[in-house]
Amino acid sequence: KVEQDPDDPEQLIATQVSKSGAALTADSFSPKLLDYQKAIVTFRKGSGFYAFDTWQDDYEKAYLIRDKYEYLHQIYRVPWKLLPPGKTDVVEAVIDIKSGDIDPAKVVFKTPQGVEFKSESRDGVYIAYHLGGAISG
């Protein structure tokens, strides 16, 4: 993320928001392995600038969009986030940990392609920084 220095308009400030890593192997993640009795992660817009759309019950009647929301464990629909290419934004993730074998210090936000987004925890709420990629398709 690159921003203009508020104290010196001729200077830019660069902040790392993600890092590249190895892509996840095909069998390393399956939504069927999620155990909502151990922890539930709920995403919300937080202080983000760009649109963030969470599932609404009325969407069940909307044939054009209802299948666009991934369904995890029959209890959670994954929200959508608008992020133009090259732009950065944040989302919040609240993790309700119900099991002692979940270590919040080991929480990471990573895409299947291996991009790991910088995050920080504030009072149990994770702020995850995201970078928009190239448009595909």
Q: Which residue has better confidence, 17 or 122? A: 122
pLDDT digits (tens, 9 = 90+) for 29-48: 777 778 888 888 888 888 88
Q: Is the pTM of this model over 0.75?
A: no
Give the confidence band of 137 by pLDDT, cuts at 50, 70, 90: very low
Strand ranges, E, within 21-106: 39-44, 52-53, 71-72, 76-77, 80-81, 88-97
What's the mean pLDDT in 60-80? 83
Q: Per-residue pLDDT for 96 more than 80?
A: yes
